[in-house]
Structure formats: structure tokens, C-alpha cells
A = this chain, B = another copy of it.
Amino acid sequence: MHKAVVLLSGGLDSSTTLAIAQQDGYAVTALSFRYGQRHTVELERAAHIAAHFGADHRVIDINIGSFGGSALTDDRIDVPVDATPDGVIPPTYVPGRNTVFIAVALSLAEAIEAERLYLGITAVDYSGYPDCRPEYLDAYQRLADLATKAGLEGRGAKLVAPLLTLTKLDIVRAALDLGVPVNVTWSCYQGGTQPCGVCDSCRIRDRALIDAGRADLATPHAQAHLNHHA
């Protein structure tokens, strides 16, 4: 059976991507990172998601959070509760995070001879992040083909980002179609045991779930808001 590595944060997007990789016929090894994020609850959720789909799961420690500079890893920087204006990179940006994660995933892919590396990157609803754009992925593919023994021999992993051009509503619909246990996924930027419902990630996700007719899967905060206005 052909192999694929899937970067799995435990959020809605990466969980849906894992389901797509399986549907595409690959034996999946999911890869998650303990990188100093405040929302480590996502790692427990990632383990649940991988188990749900019967995928191998590896967690690698790489403490880039210790370098500072992001609201996701530095308790002194608040996670914003308002939308970030167009063209502005939000403070939840972690310097070089995707570049590090993809590099490690390529190393794993080469070691286990995986043909594909699936990424849950989406360019539509998070356009403020520089490392979630098509030209970034193209540049990474070019690097990967030059970087590795496998790449030079023409059997290097190909980067695949099936959600790249999908809206969050499209992703929610795909997740529901593919049997992703949406209630298990964790997208919130905050720590804690309940998603906050007010960070960028929660709000975009809640809006999509409500638009898809699944307000029952939205955060308690969003449900309270809906009931208040009902």
C-alpha cells in the first residue's frame, strides 16, 4: 500500500485532510508537534483523530515556541478576539512554523518512503499567513526535490494541499461527508478545556458550522449567542 504523511494539528482542517488522504487510498502516518503552543489540548485531539481513522501517529518535540514572537506560544502576547485586517499578518503567526513542520515531515516521508505529504493549509480564510499560499508551496516543492536523496532520484514526496482553495464552509461540508468527528477536533488558539469562541479560528469555524446547518457543533459561546438572538 502506498504511504502518505499527513501534518495533523488536531484541528478541523488537518483532520479533514487526513480523511481525504485515506480516501485517496494512502496508508497514513500522521505527524503532530509539541512546539510550545498554549493549546496543547490539540495534541490529545490529534491522537483521537488518528485513532478514529486507524492511522499511525507520531508526535515530535521541537520547541520553536521558546524563540518567542507569537501569541500562540508567548503568554505575554494576547490572542486577538477581533478579525485581523486584510493584508496584515496576525499576531498568532509563529515565525517559520510551517517551514519547520514541513521540513520535519519531509524527513519522515523520506525515511518511511512516503509518496505524498498532505497539508491542511488553506489560503482562503487565513490569507494573512505568508506560509499558507500557493507560491510558498511551489517554492517548497522545488526545494524538496533538490534537498533529498529521494527527490534527486525522482521518488521524493509530493506536497498536496487539498483544502488550499476551499472556503471554511467547503471544508466543513467535506468533513461531514467524510465522517470526520468534528466535535473531537480542536481549532481554538487558546488553552483551556472549552474553545473560547472569540479568537479568529473559533469565529471562522463557528460561522461555517452555522452556515452548514450544524450549529449544534459550534462552540458554547456561539450557541449562546444564537439562542440570545433567536
Stretch at the interface among A41-49, A62-70, A178-186: A62-70
A177 partner residues in chain B, CB cutoff 8 A:
none
- A residues at B contact (CB < 8 Å): 60-64, 67-69, 89, 93-100, 102-104, 106-108, 110-112, 130-131, 133, 135-136, 139-140, 142-144, 146-152
> Bound state CA distance, A154 and B103, in angstroms?
23
> Bound state CA distance, A111 and B68, in angstroms?
6
User: In the assembled complex, how far is the CB of residue A129 from the closest CB belonging to chain B, in whole angstroms?
Assistant: 9
Q: Do B130 and A69 touch across chains, with their CB atoms under 8 A apart?
A: no
Closest 6 CB pairs of A and B: A96-B107, A67-B111, A95-B110, A103-B103, A69-B111, A139-B143
Question: How many monomers of this chain does the complex have?
Answer: 2
Q: Do A136 and B146 touch across chains, with their CB atoms under 8 A apart?
A: yes
> Bound state CA distance, A63 and B148, in angstroms?
18
A111 partner residues in chain B, CB cutoff 8 A:
67-69, 95
Q: Do A106 and B112 touch across chains, with their CB atoms under 8 A apart?
A: no
Q: Do A96 and B147 touch across chains, with their CB atoms under 8 A apart?
A: yes
A89 partner residues in chain B, CB cutoff 8 A:
149, 152
A62 partner residues in chain B, CB cutoff 8 A:
60-62, 104
> Bound state CA distance, A68 and B147, in angstroms?
17
User: In the assembled complex, how far is the CB of residue A193 from the closest CB belonging to chain B, in whole angstroms?
Assistant: 28
**Within the complex, which residue of B64, B133, B147, B148 is in contact with A107, where a contact is CB–CB below 8 Å?**
B64
Q: Do B130 and A151 touch across chains, with their CB atoms under 8 A apart?
A: yes
A60 partner residues in chain B, CB cutoff 8 A:
62-64
Given A61-B62, A62-B104: A147 touches B99 (CB 8 Å cut-off)? yes
A69 partner residues in chain B, CB cutoff 8 A:
110-111
User: In the assembled complex, how far is the CB of residue A102 from the closest CB belonging to chain B, in whole angstroms?
Assistant: 8
> Bound state CA distance, A133 and B149, in angstroms?
13
Q: Do B142 and A107 touch across chains, with their CB atoms under 8 A apart?
A: no
In the complex, the chain B residue whose C-beta lies closest to that of A61 is B61
